[in-house]
Amino acid sequence: MSDHDLTDAPAWTGTSADPADEQFGDVVRSRDGDLTAMLASADVALLGEPFDDAVVGRRGARHGPDALREELASVKTHHFANGPVGECVDVGDVVRDDEAGATVASLQERVEGVARLLHDSDTFPVFLGGDNSLTYPNVAPLLEAGSVGVLNFDAHLDVRAVRDEPTSGTPYRQLLDDGLDAYACVGARHFETTGEYAAFVDECGGAVVTSEAVSADLDDALDRALAAMGGVDSLYVSVDLDVLDAAHAPGVSAPTPGGLTTRELFELLRRVGADERLAGFEVVECAPPLDRDAMTARAGARAIAHLLAGRKEGTLPDASGVER
């Protein structure tokens, strides 16, 4: 992989006129030199993946990375209990290689090359989607380094068999076929999948935790999902924004009622973020052309902030006096 596989990273700036308001726009550095050196000095690396070629339903997720960046730039960096986030670098977007024919398979291969570089560095990678097919190349490099589990916050299981080409509905079937050790879907909806795919997850030893289960008992729901991870070495977390109720996230390929609230998702992500095995995170299926008042992009940006805040769990004294 070379810098030619990446676009220039956009400039980040805060939006507040109050100098006391530290925002992500004030702390995210744009790639402006040697990529390897920048990765060596940053705690978190953001990578945009502006592709929606594999979407089964409505398209628009190719515009997701820019929208997530725009909304994240205005989010303040402070979490009451865990303090501010660490230093972040934006390495830019993966470039489409039109000479390769831009098939979904070729895009996955190209994304995997960049994702591998991030995983091989000491930074924590955050992938800005893009459609859900990109989960496969984002996770695949981890399979070479030990046992891996994925927590998929999603309305759908996405374990369809690959037929002619991979789609946004096939990434976890691809990963399980390649040796993924553990899988759990949190926020799945009744009547949004088939019995065949639910049975496949069960046969693989995976867990399906419905949105109703989260609403009924968030602690138990998360415990069930993490129990399915067993003793894996690395944990990858994916958020498909259609896990949220359509009222909170209209700008996705397949919005449906009955999903998680933003508050539920944020709490789950903060808790998962504290897991020492955490090796990567993504937000996918943010489709700004389908959004309303940037609600979905705003939720996706805050999902990133909450997950990153969770990574600092236990590193600071809880002296805020504020209940989590």
CA–CA separation, 231 vs 314, rounded Å? 21
Burial state string for 46-76 with b = 16 or more CB within 10 A and e = fewer than 16: bbbbbbbbbbbbbbbbbbbbbbbbbbbbbbb
The separation between CA 70 and the C-alpha centre of its own chain, rounded to angstroms, equals 16
3-310 fold: Arginase; Chain A (3.40.800)
pTM of the model: 0.94
C-alpha to C-alpha distances, 296 to 72, 131, 293, nearest whole angstrom = 12, 14, 8
Three-state DSSP class for 228?
Answer: coil
* Per-residue pLDDT at 23: 94
What CA–CA distance (Å, rounded) separates 187 from 247?
A: 15
> Max alpha carbon distance in the chain (Å)?
57
pLDDT score at 323: 52
Average pLDDT of the chain to the nearest whole number = 92
Q: Which residues contact 240 (CB under 8 A, 6 or more apart)?
A: 132, 152, 153, 154, 155, 156, 158, 252, 284, 285
How much is the pLDDT for 321? 46
Q: What is the pLDDT of residues 188-247, one digit of tens each?
A: 999 988 899 999 999 999 999 999 999 999 999 999 999 999 999 999 999 999 999 999
pLDDT tens readout for residues 278-298: 999 999 999 999 999 999 999
End-to-end alpha carbon distance in the chain: 42
Nearest to 188 by CA among 216, 209, 214: 209
The pLDDT tens digits along the chain (324 residues) read 455 689 999 999 999 999 899 999 999 999 887 888 888 889 999 999 999 999 988 999 999 999 999 999 999 998 888 888 878 999 999 998 765 567 999 999 999 999 999 999 989 999 999 999 999 999 999 999 899 999 999 999 999 999 989 999 999 999 999 999 999 999 999 998 889 999 999 999 999 999 999 999 999 999 999 999 999 999 999 999 999 999 999 999 999 999 999 999 999 999 999 999 999 999 999 999 999 999 999 999 999 999 999 998 744 444 444 555
Contacts of 79 (CB under 8 A, 6+ apart): 270, 305, 306, 309, 312
The residue extents of the domains of the chain are 3-310
Task: Report the alpha-carbon distance of residue 45 to residue 118 in Å, rounded.
Answer: 7
Contacts of 320 (CB under 8 A, 6+ apart): 80, 81
Q: Do you find a cis peptide bond into 130, omega within 30 degrees of 0?
A: yes
